[in-house]
């Protein structure tokens, strides 16, 4: 039995899809009205999923306030009511398609996860960005592989600390 | 193939462990730990995995699934204070995850046919928080 918790966050922001690697005609053909010069906005819904074992006494993966604080401080504080192309450093050269925004969010959440989410057994397993009610983009993270890595890491740490024949 | 049926119920609860202080409970559960309790509109989505029967064309009769959800979940939990009226929540903290796990437990006893099995219980506590209990297969 696997337990996952998903929490939804809403924010609005603007973007313009325009690649510096393409000329104006190619950009217009590829991105259509999303290439309009002044950009446009969306009300995005971000869903963040964490999976892991349930603390048997508390009945939670971790306090939800941990996740709220992580998302508030590293995602919403930087993205909400901003223009992705102008205000967010990650998109100076990367086109802020919602695919790329989802990947940047995954990166930011993973980098800061351990500072906010404890117990550490809960892992980030999915990020979904809904651009509108009709368009959504989802990144699913390979848990099994990372769990195995973490397990090996722990083993190495234990082996390094405890003399085998003590 | 996955098939899903939804059901709704409203209930109140409080999330606290009596052996902990108010401050510790607040740290774990936030506002959910207020002593007198509060309510939610819960939505549960129950997903079965299976193949359609070659004659009926159905994985399971959704009417029958609706009746099971009504009997096992909605009837006992709707408009109740979970901590006081719905065991095991006199002993188990009725967090979203624990309520979802209890729903899984109640349904897994009933929902196992030759051609289908319970794949996921998704419990929404309000529109922005939900917990998934799965058997490892991703619906």
ipTM value of the model?
0.82
Q: Contacts of residue B127 in chain A, CB cutoff 8 Å? A: 8
Residue B93 CB-density burial (10 A; 0-12 exposed, 13-18 middle, 19+ buried): buried
Q: Which two tokens stand for residue B40?
A: 């939610």
The b/e string for A91-126 (b: 16+ C-beta within 10 A; e otherwise) is beebbbbbebbbbbbbebbeeebeebbeeebbbbbb
In this prediction, residue A157 has a pLDDT band, given cuts at 50, 70 and 90, of low
* Position A166 confidence tier, pLDDT thresholds 50, 70, 90: very low
Predicted structure pTM score? 0.83
Backbone conformation region of residue A22, classed left if phi is above 0, alpha if psi is from -120 to 50, else beta: beta
Q: What digits encode the pLDDT tens for the residues B39-48?
A: 999 999 999 9
Indicate if the pLDDT at residue A155 is higher than 70.
Answer: no
Residue A44, pLDDT > 60, answer yes
Cross-chain Cβ contact A4/B29 below 8 Å: no
Domains and CATH numbers, chain B: 2-134 (3.30.479.10)
Residues of B with Cβ-Cβ distance to A133 under 8 angstroms: none
Mean pLDDT of B10-21: 95
A-facing residues of B in 21-60 (CB < 8 A) are 27-30
Mean of the per-residue pLDDT values for chain B? 93
Smallest Cα distance from A120 to chain B, Å: 15
Q: CA B37, CA B13: separation in Å to the nearest integer?
A: 5
Residue A31, pLDDT > 90, answer yes
pLDDT of residue B137: 59
Average pLDDT over residues A22-51: 95
Q: What is the pLDDT of residue A54?
A: 85
Residues paired with residue A83 on neighbouring β-strands, in sequence order: A14
* List of chain A residues whose C-beta atoms are within 8 Å of the C-beta of residue B91: none
Above 60 in pLDDT, residue A151? no
What is the mean pLDDT of the segment spanning B23-51? 95
pLDDT attached to residue B54: 87
Is A20 near chain B, with CB under 8 Å? no
Q: Quick one: pLDDT at residue A101? A: 95
Q: From the CA of B55, how many Å to the nearest CA of chain A? A: 32
Q: Kindly report the nearest CA distance between residue B4 and chain A, in angstroms.
A: 18
CA distance A63 to A72: 15
Radius of gyration of the CA atoms of chain B, in A: 16
Percent of chain B scoring above 70 in pLDDT: 97
Q: CB pairs below 8 Å between A and B: how many?
A: 65
Provide the CB-side half-sphere exposure for A92 (13 A, CA).
2
| C-alpha distance across the termini of chain B, in Å | 9
Predicted confidence at residue A153, as pLDDT, reads 56
Give the mean pLDDT of A27-43.
94
Q: Give the sign of the dihedral formed by CA B63, CA B39, CA A6, CA B27.
A: negative
pLDDT at A59 over 70: yes
CA dist A39 and A91 (Å) reads 14
Is it the case that residue A158 has pLDDT exceeding 50?
Answer: no
- Cα gap A63→A117, rounded to integer Å: 8
To 5 degrees, how large is the angle CA B130–CA A140–CA A59? Answer: 35
Contact B131, A61 (CB under 8 A): no
**Residue % of chain A over a pLDDT of 70:** 85
Q: What is the dihedral of CA B21, B26, B31, B33, to 10 degrees?
A: -40
Indicate the average pLDDT of chain A: 87
Q: Is some CB atom of chain B closer than 8 A to the CB atom of A86? A: no
Active-site amino acid positions of A: 34, 81, 131
Residues of B whose CB is below 8 A from A49: 132
Question: Is the pLDDT confidence value at A146 over 70?
Answer: no
CATH topology of domain A3-161: Tetrahydropterin Synthase; Chain A (3.30.479)
Contact A59 B131 (CB under 8 A): no
- The reported pLDDT for the residue numbered A145 is 43
CB spacing of A54 vs B30 below 8 angstroms: no
Q: Is A79 exposed, middle or buried (0-12, 13-18, 19+ CB in 10 A)?
A: buried
Kindly tell me the sign of the dihedral angle through the C-alpha atoms of A59, A62, A66, A68. Answer: negative
The region of weakest confidence among A121-125, B107-111, B133-137 is B133-137
Given a cut of 50, whether residue B56 has pLDDT beyond it is yes
Q: Do A116 and A48 meet the contact criterion of CB atoms below 8 Å apart?
A: no
Buried b (16+ CB within 10 A) or exposed e, B15-29: bbeeebeeeebbebb
Burial class (CB in 10 A: 0-12, 13-18, 19+), A29: exposed
């Amino acid at each position: 039995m696997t337990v996952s918790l998903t929490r939804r966050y809403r924010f609005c922001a603007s973007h313009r899809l325009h690649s510096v690697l393409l000329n104006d005609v190619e950009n217009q053909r590829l991105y259509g009205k999303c290439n309009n010069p002044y950009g446009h906005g969306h009300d995005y819904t971000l869903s963040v999923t964490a999976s892991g074992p349930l603390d048997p006494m508390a009945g939670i993966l971790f306090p939800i306030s941990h996740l709220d604080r992580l998302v508030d401080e590293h995602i919403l504080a930087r993205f909400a009511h901003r223009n992705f192309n102008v205000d967010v450093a990650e998109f100076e050269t990367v086109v802020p398609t919602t695919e790329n925004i989802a990947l940047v969010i995954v990166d930011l959440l993973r980098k800061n996860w351990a500072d906010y989410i404890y117990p550490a057994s809960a892992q980030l397993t999915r990020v979904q960005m809904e651009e509108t009610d009709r368009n959504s983009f989802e990144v699913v993270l390979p848990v099994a592989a990372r769990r195995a890595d973490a397990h090996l890491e722990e083993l190495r740490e234990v082996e390094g600390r405890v003399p085998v024949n003590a | 193939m996955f098939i899903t049926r939804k059901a709704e119920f409203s209930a109140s609860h409080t999330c606290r462990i009596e052996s902990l202080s108010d401050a510790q409970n607040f740290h774990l559960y936030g506002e959910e730990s207020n002593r007198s309790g509060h309510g939610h509109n819960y939505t549960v989505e129950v997903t079965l995995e299976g193949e359609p029967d070659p004659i009926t064309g159905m994985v399971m009769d959704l009417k029958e699934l609706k009746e099971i959800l009504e009997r096992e979940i909605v009837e006992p939990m709707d408009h109740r204070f979970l901590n006081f009226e719905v065991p095991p929540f006199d002993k188990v903290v009725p967090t979203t995850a624990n309520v979802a796990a209890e729903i899984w437990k109640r349904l897994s006893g009933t929902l196992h046919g030759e051609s289908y099995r319970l794949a996921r219980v998704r419990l929404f506590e309000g529109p922005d928080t939900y917990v998934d209990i799965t058997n490892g297969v991703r619906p």
